[in-house]
Structure formats: C-alpha cells, structure tokens
Amino acid sequence: MRILLGLVLFVAGIAGLAWWGSSHQARTIEDEVEVAAKGVVTGAIHPMRVEVSGRDITLTGTADTEDELIDIVASLDAVEGRRVVRSDDVDVLPVADPYETALAKGIDGSLSLTGTAPSAAQAEVAAGHGATGAMDLPLASGAPEGWTEIVGAGVDALGPLDEGSFALTGMTAILSGTAATPREAKAATTALNALPEGIDRVVSVDVLDTGVVSFELIYDAGEGLSAFGTVPENFDAPAMAEALGFTDIAGDTTTTFGMDAALPERLSDLPGLLPDLERLSLRDEGGQIIATGVASPGLDPGYVTSELRAALGDDARIEITAGDAPDDWVTRTNRATGADQVASAGYWLPVYDFEISKQACNDAAAQVQAGRQIQFVTGSSELDTASMSIINDMAGLLLHCTDKIGMRVTIGGHTDSQGNDNENYRLSVARANAVRDALVARGVPAGRMQALGFGETEPIADNDTEEGRAANRRTTFEWPK
C-alpha cells in the first residue's frame, strides 16, 4: 500500500513539474514575442500598437501607406515564436495627389494653415512655427520629403510681407502677396532658399512702394500749383509747394522712401522764374527732369529756357514755347507773385491801386527797379530779353500813373563814362526811345511819355569801378514836380 501511494505521489510530482515548466516557458515566449513585435513598430511613421496574447500578435493604429503596412506585417510574421498576426484594425492613410498644404498671412499678421499634413508629429512642428489650424489638418500620405522644412520656409517667406499666401502643390511652392518695399520682397524671396532640393518655386509679390520717384509738378499762372504721382517722403508735395513759395498745392500724390537728392536745390531756384511762365510741367522720372512749358506773352522762349536750364541742370530736358496773347482787359491774380494782372496789348501787366501823385509814382517806379535794371545788348539800344519782365511791370505802373490828366513821365537814358561823349549821348537817347517804344507796345499812351538821353552827365556812382559803371548805366522814370 505504501509502495502504491509513493508511486502515485511520484507521478503527480512529475506531472506538476511538467505543467509548471510548460506554463513558465509559454510566458517567456510570449514576452519575447511582445518585445520583438514592439521593436518592429518603433520605426513606424505614425503611432502603432501591438498586443500579444498567447503568442498571437494584434496590430492597431495608422499606417502611412499599404506598402508600409505590408512591410510591418511581414516583419511581425518573422518574429520567432509568434503564432498569428492580425492587422484588420489598422487604418491606412489616403494618398494625396497632388499633395497640397497652404499658409495664409492676414493683414493682422496671423498665419493659418490649411490642406493636409503628413503626420501628427509634423503638424505639431508646423504649429510651433506659429501657424494656427496645424493640429486640425487631416493626415494624408504622399508629402514631399522635408514637409516641415517646406512649411518653415513658407512661414519665413511670409514674415516680411504685409499679407500673402504660400502654397505647396505637389513639388511646387507658390509664394504670392504684397511687400511694403523691394527690401521686404527680396527678404521673402531669399527665405525660399531654405526649400529642400527638388522643390520648384513660383514667386508673385507685388511691391507697394518701389522706391521710384515719378511725379509731375504743374504750375499755372492763373490756377496755381498741383502735383500728381509718387514723391519722396522726405520732400513731399507740401514741401515742394513751400520751396516754390506757395502755401498750398492741389493734386494727388503718394510718397516713396526713394529720393531725388538734387530736387530740393533745383526747386529752390524756380520761384524767381515762375513769373516768366504761363505754365510749367515739371516731370521727375527717377531723377531725370523733363520740363515743358509756355513763356509769358512777349517773353523769349529761348531766354526762359536758358534760365530754367541754369536752375534744373544741364541734364534736364526742357522745351518752352511762346505764350499766346490774352484778350485785352482780362484780369487775373498771378499765383506766383500774388499780384493782380490785367491784359493789355497782348501782355500781362501788374495792376496798381494807389492814389496817383507825382511822389507816389516816383516812389513806385523806384520800387519796381529795386535790385534790378533794364538792360540792353552790349553797345546797342536793343533791349535784353532778361529785361522784359521789368518792362511789363513798369508798363503796368505807367498805365496807372498816366491815367490821371496831366501826369506825364520822363524816361531817361544814362550811360557810364567809357567811350566817346557824343556816342554815349546818342546811345542814351536811343535806349530811352527803345524803352518808350516797348511801353507803347504794351498799351501805355505815347503822348504821356517823353524819352530823353542824358549820356554820362548824371552819374550816381564812381565810374572808376565796374560796379559804379554798372550803376550808372540805367533807365530812369520820373514824374517832374
């Protein structure tokens, strides 16, 4: 009996030991299968999970492509000790063809991302660039290599722009938008150099301020000043008006960061020339000055052209034509001088409005000639073209001062002491008559004027100096007391 009991216990012990060994070995194999299976999915593009039960492997998660899933399943099949590999619950991403992702920058500077992303991890990287909506993008396979670098380059390219978009379509990146200046446009284009090799690029950026000065400044004697186009921001339309002696300016201009360094100096010499013009169009095309205009009636266009060239420079293109004669007795205010004018015998003459007396007229004549003189071609009685504006001013004064009965003016011609006395006398008479004739041509009654020559007999300065001789060569206007 004891022998039988012992035999039973021995057999039971052997069976238990065999069961324990089998169970322990099964768990060990299962653990080894799980470790190997997890190693297979570690390199997957998207998160994937494996569960091992009784050496059966169940795969779940997302595969980038069918090929990736096939490769992973094949690797799991090769795991030693596995029994079955199940992959029915794995989602395979759709293929996007062409692959499209787009960035948009709003006027407020915000960035939004639309389209598709290759993976959640890469979408997170895009979100780190400041693009809203990145984490909400649907996933799709087929993205070009370096998708995150492409998006990063797009963010950097949009940075300098006021607004715009960056679109990836297949293997082409398209940048469009608006830039404040060429500097920002260049920075945006340069940022695309970070695109991976093989990505084509298309750039269409509009520059709001090209930096090119391009405007037309228009002066009209009766209407005033106006400007149109793009002017330097450091010398805008109001600054131009001030430089020309105007308090206001009409027109429509925009400003640019570009400059024409010579423009302020050029305009500074124009105020004294505007009274000789009926109209002047001054175009500035990136520093190239083109001036066209009409001289005041009676003024030589060639003379006005030479004066403008001295102000605007030898490189300026200038074309001045003769002005048409206005109808008699039409009035206006000359916008350059602020003086009222009346048309007489085809000329614009200033209107004077003061109580007529011999003293008042003598004082006014001296004021008209202050700082300037009627000049003649050297050695002759031919009036210099530079004297026509003073002749016009004097004609307006004489029309006023001879309007009163009994008011007559004496026009005196004077020379310096150089040369023959008799020749100087004859020259002074001829010059006085030339002035008288010019005034008659402007509507001053001939019977109210007397031309006399005084030669060198009434000097007002020392004839031993050039300055003195120049002062002695003069034309006087006097209402005898």
Both structure tokens of 316: 């300026």
Tell me the C-alpha distance between 329 and 426, whole Å: 36
Residues facing 253 on adjacent strands: 229
**pLDDT for res 31:** 87
Task: Calculate the CA dihedral of residues 395, 398, 403, 408 and round it to 10 degrees.
Answer: -140
433 pLDDT exceeds 80? Answer: yes
3-state class of 144 per DSSP? coil
pTM of the model: 0.74
Give residue-wise pLDDT tens across range 385-394. 889 999 999 9
What would the pLDDT profile of 77-118 be if each residue is shown by its tens digit? Answer: 998 888 889 999 999 999 999 999 999 999 999 999 999 999
State both tokens at 274: 């505007």
133: Cβ contacts below 8 Å, ≥ 6 apart: 112, 113, 114
25 vs 449, higher pLDDT: 449
Contact 101, 112 (CB under 8 A): no
Cβ(188)–Cβ(158) below 8 Å? yes
First to last CA, the chain: 178
pLDDT reported for residue 478: 94
Alpha-carbon gap, residue 287 to 292, rounded angstroms:
16
Q: Per residue in 291-347, pLDDT tens?
A: 999 999 999 999 999 999 999 999 999 999 999 999 999 999 999 999 999 999 999
Q: For 258-280, write each residue's pLDDT tens digit.
A: 999 999 999 999 999 999 999 99
- Contact present, 44 and 63 (Cβ < 8 Å): yes
pLDDT at 7 over 70: no
Neighbouring C-beta atoms of residue 220, cutoff 10 Å: 17
Please state whether the peptide bond connecting residue 182 to the residue before it is cis, i.e. omega within 30 degrees of 0: no
Find all residues with CB under 8 Å of 332, minimum gap 6, and list them: 221, 222, 340, 341, 348
pLDDT band for position 43 (cuts 50, 70, 90): confident
* Statement: residue 55 has pLDDT above 90: no
Minimal CA–CA distance to 64: which of 139, 116, 127? 139
pLDDT grade, residue 404 (50/70/90)? Answer: confident
Q: Are 58 and 86 in contact (CB under 8 A)?
A: yes
